A and B are shown apart, each in its own frame.
Chain A
């Protein structure tokens, strides 16, 4: 008996063992970085094209210390987040109207169904003409690109809200805002979150694209300008900052989703 108990205890992995396994699982990243380092130092490829990692890290540190990174990063973040939050607010309202109101549905549904596969980025030159080269045209484009997935997902979610729940609430005397906040939004929340999760990376992508096309501020501009002036280390440092923002956005949203939708078991977490 005692032996069996001891065996049982031994089979439980110790805490450092678990952590070691988790770190070991990340070995492909180390493989890729090592390959990069070896190629960069081998001299096959000019350092003007592929700088070694330590140079990129040094550049990253210098840009952070000089405040360049914070300045450009803040501008990029601001554009992405303003357009994205506006799209959330308008998208949820529009999606609700599309699902609940017949006239709005008739007028707007064709626009959303047929407009979905069309790349909205092709409208950007017109937005530049209308709103100018500055922040406004970029924010409007981010807003428009994010609006589509959020609106359509909200519409699906609101449509599939259970009739019985809506009827019960209406029978109990709920209407208008109360029905919206207490019944419709909670039952459509998983769908709305799915739309937001699609829109979040889009907001960053579109902001970067607009900064590549024409701008003198923002991280996308730094990548474009540094590449054009053959400073790949600087471009890669800015790209690393963009990557970190994208990764951070994704992780914080899935964290938020777990907190907000605790009743939903099938959270789309990346295992």
Chain B
């Protein structure tokens, strides 16, 4: 299971320097595709559900200027960030504690191995019955789903701290709290970040999902209403916003990781360049 989370983090592509180097050539073909798409749109050769890029851009800009987009995006991001923060914090804290104290890990291990492979989003309708249709139930679903991958990553990280480091710290008279703060957490940070990255991707998926099911505000709501009115340009504008937000959040987390983990990434990540 720990291998699974590690593999999941591994799958997520990192920005590559090699890619940046040949950017000139790399961008040519996508640009050509975009141009062909635009031309087809101008000459009316596209089916109704595919909208020309210029029209998506114009609608997007219009919605941005009118403030409509920022309002919906803020409402979506509020739920998403709260769900991510609560779920990932709980997962990380419990995971690190379980990695240090064996009784805690003995309690959580059977539960996690039982629940982790279950698609927890299926409980969403029941959560709606329990907590109402508002923000709370959406945040609860995100919290539950994000807890598991972050727990597993943090547990794995805290478990794989080198014994020598722990012994040295204990020999030097470190208390349990100090040991966790100054030895376990720093060496588990790369794994913890992997868990947070998975949680971040999950939080965006759940943000859209919960809003498509029931909502009165948010980007998923824009998509659902646009679909009912067959306004495909508005739909694409909302999808574009979600894509930009998801992409930027991922890159922001990577930047933060690169900033906090100077020197630690080399040894841990050298295996899969």
Contacts and interface: CB of A to CB of B under 8 A. Distances in A.
A198 B1 CA distance: 11
Interface stretch (B25-33, B58-66, B163-171, B187-195): B25-33
Interface residues on B, range: 35 or more
Given A152-B11, A219-B122, A250 B212 contact: no
Contacts of B220: 122
A123 interface: yes
Given A119-B205, A122-B223, A198-B11, A220 B247 contact: no
Contacts of A209: 121, 209
Given A117-B12, A149-B11, A227-B129, A126 B122 contact: no
A198 B8 contact: yes
B235 interface: yes
B42 interface: no
Interface in A118-175: 118-119, 121-126, 128-130, 148-149, 152-153, 156, 160
A125 B7 contact: no
Q: What DSSP secondary structure best describes chain B's contact surface?
A: helix
A208 B119 contact: yes
A117 B4 contact: no
A153 B242 CA distance: 25
B13 interface: yes
Contact of B129 (A149, A220, A230): A230
A160 B271 CA distance: 10
Contacts of A116: 12-13
B36 interface: no
B33 to A, nearest CB: 8
A119 B213 contact: no
B125 A198 contact: no
Contact of B3 (A119, A160, A212, A266): A266
Nearest to B204: A119
Interface string A178-210: 000000000000000011011001001100110
A235 interface: yes
A121 B7 CA distance: 22
Nearest to A203: B119
Interface string B133-177: 000000000000000000000000000000000000000000000
B110 A29 contact: yes
Interface string B178-198: 000000000000000000000
B224 interface: yes
Contacts of B74: none
B90 interface: no
B48 to A, nearest CB: 8
B126 A119 contact: no
A37 interface: no
Contact of A110 (B26, B109, B219): B26
A222 B79 CA distance: 26
B108 interface: yes
A121 B205 contact: yes
Contacts of B13: 112-113, 116, 152
Interface in B193-222: 200-201, 204-205, 207-209, 212-213, 219-220
A246 B239 CA distance: 29
A214 to B, nearest CB: 9
Given A106-B26, A152-B13, A208 B122 contact: yes
B10 interface: yes
Contacts of A117: 12, 200-201, 204, 246-247, 249-250
A215 B215 CA distance: 18
A4 interface: no
Nearest to A268: B3
A232 interface: yes
B264 interface: no
A239 B3 contact: no
B133 to A, nearest CB: 11
B117 A223 contact: no
A243 to B, nearest CB: 4
12 contacts: A107-B29, A110-B27, A117-B12, A149-B8, A195-B11, A205-B119, A213-B209, A213-B213, A223-B126, A224-B125, A228-B129, A247-B118
Given A156-B272, A213-B212, 10 more contacts: A28-B111, A29-B111, A107-B29, A117-B250, A118-B204, A121-B205, A129-B49, A160-B272, A230-B129, A268-B1
